[in-house]
A and B are shown apart, each in its own frame.
Chain A
């Protein structure tokens, strides 16, 4: 976590432990921390503070967007097949539809338009397109997506899962076309277990978690004051340093990618570098299974990822690569290396040294 986030949350774990919904002095202090965080988040995202709903994380925010909007409007949802499961599964649960992506992982706008057409099925009230794909790193053109929605289903809202994207693009500008946006605290140096759904004025959604009516009746449950304060501090710092971080980390990611491409035969990037975010490096390595590679990398303290994990902890075949048309046996050799605000050059050197050794051993 970012030190500023730890510092921001500590008082609410140690002394200021009151429930912010209370009326007494200590409760008011907790409440003020949440209101401060709400303003920081609204400013960073370019949303109105009244539209900031704190949740337990990105998954809850995505679920609330998809299920909340479709329930309130009696519609269904549509998303590309490459979305995170936190969007895919709720879309499936509301009887929604998927849009195809091209080989580069970008939404097929013609197919999106066809899926929005009245004859494609029940009316779509929400389209969800993630800003930066968590596996491939592809950056979505929300402007173009919003344009298609405007022409084919003007009543439909646009939601973006910006859980990854918040780190790698000018979020307020990029998310401008979106009506709803999800964040998760731990993806930018905040704590786990706290997230945000940002909602534009005029958007109605049905609360999915009922109770005490917190968050303007949109998400009940006692506030996670410490987590919210920390999320606000982390996002505030990110907002200040993002452009500097993107340059620094982009250079490190290039060094990592170029180093591995040079050292490993039969290794390729899954998407064009110019189309992906600075901090996500995904490679396809011939003749190995990443599941085995990760066991070897563990010994070098290189902590990487294949695709998604299921409940058992097993690696699941990547639905993102499958949607992009990558064959299953090739996808088994996909390696995802994520860089973040605290990544240092020596870590890149270590990875560039270790990964080819491990690949060699497995081949």
Chain B
């Protein structure tokens, strides 16, 4: 067969002047190569645009994390479509990485297991810790990217010599709580360009660029729990749910709850207390006995939090800190002792075991840990 019969040789010559294999060069003058993790939302879309504006060579990647049913969340096919379309609009390459197996192993299974043991897990933190800033960051390094970029609302401070995670400029959107686990080494390979902007500014930038994600609503919920089925059915299928007996501090039976595995310390809704007049909260969950102790606001308060699995931005911190116990909750004054245990300046509501507690000085993250109970 003659190569020219189909014009293939001519086409080959037009595409490639030489057969020797050398990688394509990046745009002249590109300052660095960055891989942008794109969820299909407005924040990561603008993050990619900002990297381009600063003359970096930008490649987009969307992670397929969850193979089961979902209604929105970070890994729906329509979100991948949006991320890909934004990349097309920006003129950058886009890839999809399949981390469904890692997500199931390191996020979903621990989430289910935590509920089985009466803990209240934070799957977004697990995903950041084990997927986005572990396997993805590792792959970005191996692929020769200088930095991994995400659309998180945080900043990296370099004041004082080291690198520290800092709250985003838009305090209402700050995501430092879910990223407390990032080490100083990790921060050296990361960049969060949207952390300097307010959300309305980001939407405006996206609209100016004509990006289809400019007015897209934010995803709030856990991406693998559908609105239709809910957490209850998800867990019921995987671990089975068991009714709980509600008792007061004296051990007197005062009501029931449909599933002990779904009760979180601090919870008020969903507890059938037979019309008790004052506000009552779950103050303790005994999963083995399928018993939940309820009490008033004063009984819910505790002087401190017992903590495990600490992560420090630099060296372990001892002394006065501000401590935050939920993604957008207030940071309250507290004291960390030499063992890393936390005592509040004023008693605070108990923190459900399994939740993260993150320590700050000003806007800077000092570290964080996982709640394992309360101090007395």
Contacts and interface: CB of A to CB of B under 8 A. Distances in A.
Interface stretch (B18-26, B260-268, B301-309, B330-338): B18-26
B142 A241 contact: no
A23 interface: no
A299 B95 CA distance: 13
B22 A300 contact: yes
Contacts of A2: 6
Contact of A296 (B9, B100, B143): B143
Given A295-B95, A342-B6, A344-B8, A362 B142 contact: yes
A72 interface: no
A244 B1 contact: yes
B96 interface: yes
A351 B23 CA distance: 12
A350 B19 contact: yes
A245 interface: yes
Interface stretch (A130-138, A206-214, A218-226, A311-319): A311-319
B6 A341 contact: yes
Given A292-B142, A300-B22, A312 B7 contact: no
A96 to B, nearest CB: 23
A301 B15 contact: yes
Interface stretch (A101-109, A141-149, A353-361): A353-361
Contact of B3 (A344, A354, A362): A344
Given A300-B24, A350-B16, A312 B96 contact: yes
Interface string B1-43: 1010011110110011001111110000000000000000000
Contacts of B98: 291, 310, 314-317
Interface in A279-303: 289, 291-292, 294-296, 298-302
Given A292-B139, A300-B22, A361-B142, A313 B6 contact: no
Interface string A212-254: 0000000000000000000000000000010011001000000
A312 B65 CA distance: 11
A312 B21 contact: no
Contacts of A298: 93
B17 to A, nearest CB: 11
Nearest to B99: A314
B64 interface: yes
Nearest to B75: A312
A312 B6 contact: no
Nearest to B25: A299
Given A3-B7, A312-B62, A342-B6, A245 B23 contact: no
A357 B97 contact: no
Contacts of A241: 1
B300 interface: no
Contacts of B9: 344
A10 to B, nearest CB: 16
Interface in B84-119: 84, 93, 95-98, 100-101
Contact of B84 (A292, A313, A315, A361): A313
A342 B2 CA distance: 10
A275 to B, nearest CB: 25
B80 interface: yes
B144 interface: yes
Contact of B143 (A292, A310, A314, A342): A292
A67 to B, nearest CB: 25
A353 B20 contact: yes
B142 A349 contact: no
Contacts of B1: 241, 244-245, 248
* 10 cross-chain pairs, A with B, having the tightest CB-CB distances, nearest first: A353-B21, A314-B64, A354-B21, A314-B98, A299-B23, A346-B19, A312-B80, A313-B96, A342-B8, A314-B96
21 contacts: A2-B6, A248-B1, A291-B97, A291-B98, A292-B142, A295-B95, A299-B24, A300-B21, A301-B15, A312-B75, A313-B84, A314-B96, A314-B100, A315-B98, A342-B6, A343-B8, A344-B9, A346-B19, A349-B21, A350-B21, A361-B143
Given A311-B77, A361-B143, 15 more contacts: A2-B6, A245-B1, A295-B143, A299-B23, A300-B22, A317-B98, A342-B6, A342-B8, A346-B12, A346-B16, A346-B19, A349-B21, A350-B20, A353-B20, A357-B21
